[in-house]
Homo-oligomer: A and B are copies of this chain.
Amino acid sequence: MTLHLPLKLDASAAASLQSQLFEQIRDLILRGRLRPGAPMMATRALSRQLGVSRNTVLLAYERLIAEGYLQSRPAVGTFVSFDLPEDCLRLNDPVRRGEAQGRQADRHPVSFVGRAQMVVNPKRHKLAIDFWVGRPDNRSFPLKAWRRHVLRSLAAAGPELTEYGSPAGLYELRCAIAEYLGPARGITATPEQVIVVAGCQQALNIVARMFVRQGTPVVVESPCYQGAAYLFESYGARLLPVRVGPDGLDVAALPADPVGLAYVTPSHQYPLGVTLSLEGRLRLLEWAWRVGAYVVEDDYDSDFRYQGSPLTALKGLDTHGSVIYLGTFSKSVGAGLRVGYMVVPRELVEPAATVKALLDNGNPWLEQAALAEFIIGGGYANHLRRIRQTYLARRDCLIEALRHHFGGGIELAGLEGGMHLVWRLPADWMSAAELQAAAQSRGVGIYSLPSGAAYEPRPSEYTDRTIMLGYSSVTERQIREGIARLADIVADSRAPARVPAAVG
């Protein structure tokens, strides 16, 4: 006798009737409700039972046979397959599944211990005016030019869309970057030394995989960029923090013992915004040479320099090939492109390209092709000039608003370049975290070090007193309004407690 199957099809569901039928019968088999060898209803009878076309049932049966759940014997009929291992099937039984849930704890545990930096502000929807750090102006994206380059690249595309490219990057883009770095950053590099990556964060992974093992010491600035600190930690690095002073990294405090790696941001220190002096740069290179270290120079926002000429990068002073230079288009064009690059000493070209291949077989082609055209055609330089003017005006507006409300004596740092400045709060004010919270409640986003993607191994004189203000993505009007709101908050907090009026 054949079974009358407990099936229920829903004509209004997204899945076709045929696949609903397939899945329901499969589940009955896997749960042991239909046992191996059990005869299946004839297709004609089942189609009548369900009120569907016979073809629907035939196709579902066909698929069940193809996948091995059913077997068909000519002139006899269709059966649940005998080849299914009963002991496995019972695992799918709801009762057994209940038991099984209790065993969830036996599952192999995740051995990864780590945290990720926050690149998206989780509070952004609550903020009318947001001084979030390192964020390009939304309206700054060179959309017209980008569309043109994308279309031109697509029109000229041969096999680049279907096939893998060189994991180290599109050669045209590597050439364009190498050529750009000469005048812009004083760096002499061959295209081969340029490795295209998915942003500085990926470059740090490549560096870590080349040099960091459990317990490897890595010099970092204190405070430093969260994304780098978390990344090195996740690979087991032992971080050796070196204090940042008013002239940048305190080079005299670098460890005397051999260290393999140091991570620095000399152009515009993250988070404090200070610039490492030329003397500091030379001493850092001398130290690197002496202890045998590679220095990772993260030049994340160096395209924006407002006073004087662009500063030669540390890599430009590096006559011994000690520096691994990291650049990105996330700040200058857009983070949504996910394109950055590293310039490595010759002996690291091959291991870095190998690690990049192991990580993801290379960047997507379209962004690389469009970006190469954008740089070579001069559009990139024009774009930089344009947004540099915008950001400079916003920086000036922010400085003016701060001085207007809080007096000319306020302590500001990191003004020479970049996309944010740093405000050191007076010692008798509320703490940076308190000011941040109060500002947030009035719709203004300002950031203390820990919420501004900065990392401090232990509390310092900066912790409670430092506010980071990103100005690149707020309009001048927003800047004035935001700082005025801050001024109200500070005034309120510092007003003497009100004496109740004497009652007549």
Q: Which residues of B contact A182 (CB under 8 A)?
A: 14-15
Is B361 touching A289 in the complex (CB atoms < 8 A)?
Answer: no
Known: A154-B150, A162-B334, A351-B112. A357 touches B282 (CB 8 A): no
Q: Report which of B154, B278, B338 forms a contact with A69, defined as CB distance below 8 A.
A: B278
Known: A108-B258, A140-B162, A147-B154. A278 touches B336 (CB 8 A): no
Is B157 touching A136 in the complex (CB atoms < 8 A)?
Answer: no
Is B334 touching A285 in the complex (CB atoms < 8 A)?
Answer: no
Q: Report which of B67, B141, B259 forms a contact with A312, defined as CB distance below 8 A.
A: B67
Known: A202-B360, A365-B336. A283 touches B85 (CB 8 A): yes
Q: In whole angstroms, what is the CA distance A110 to B87 when docked? A: 50
Q: Quick one: CB contact mask for A187-215 with B, threshold 8 Å, 1 for yes?
A: 00000000001110110010001111110
**A160 interfacial contact with B, CB 8 Å:** yes
Q: Report which of B309, B322, B358, B360 forms a contact with A63, defined as CB distance below 8 A.
A: B309
Q: Which residues of B contact A158 (CB under 8 A)?
A: 138
Please report A residues at the B interface, Cβ cutoff 8 Å. Answer: 14-16, 19, 23, 26, 30, 59, 62-63, 66-69, 81, 83-85, 87-89, 91-92, 97, 100, 103, 106-108, 110-112, 114-117, 119-120, 135-138, 140-141, 143, 146-147, 150-151, 154, 157-167, 179, 182-183, 186, 197-199, 201-202, 205, 209-214, 216, 227, 230-231, 234, 258-261, 277-279, 282-283, 285-286, 289, 292-294, 307-309, 311-312, 317, 319-320, 322, 330, 333-339, 347-348, 351, 353-355, 357-367
Q: Which residues of B contact A351 (CB under 8 A)?
A: 110, 112
Q: Report which of B67, B116, B337, B354 forms a contact with A358, defined as CB distance below 8 A.
A: B116
Q: How far is the CB of A234 from chain B (nearest CB, A)?
A: 6
Is A338 touching B359 in the complex (CB atoms < 8 A)?
Answer: no
Is B205 touching A358 in the complex (CB atoms < 8 A)?
Answer: yes
Is B360 touching A198 in the complex (CB atoms < 8 A)?
Answer: yes
Q: In whole angstroms, what is the CA distance A208 to B400 when docked? A: 51
Is A211 touching B283 in the complex (CB atoms < 8 A)?
Answer: no
Known: A162-B135, A231-B358, A336-B365. A293 touches B108 (CB 8 A): yes
Top 4 A-B pairs, shortest CB-CB distance: A66-B308, A68-B278, A116-B357, A108-B260
Is A211 touching B293 in the complex (CB atoms < 8 A)?
Answer: no
Q: Report which of B164, B292, B339, B365 forms a contact with A106, defined as CB distance below 8 A.
A: B292
Known: A108-B294, A110-B211, A311-B67. A162 touches B335 (CB 8 A): yes
Q: Which residues of B contact A66 (CB under 8 A)?
A: 307-309, 311
Q: In whole angstroms, what is the CA distance A279 to B317 when docked? A: 65
Is B163 touching A334 in the complex (CB atoms < 8 A)?
Answer: yes
Known: A67-B311, A115-B354, A119-B167. A359 touches B162 (CB 8 A): no
Supply 5 A–B pairs (Cβ within 8 Å), ascending by A. Answer: A107-B347, A120-B166, A337-B365, A338-B363, A364-B367
- Specify the chain B residue showing the minimal Cβ separation from A204: B358
Is A26 touching B111 in the complex (CB atoms < 8 A)?
Answer: no
- Specify the chain B residue showing the minimal Cβ separation from A100: B320
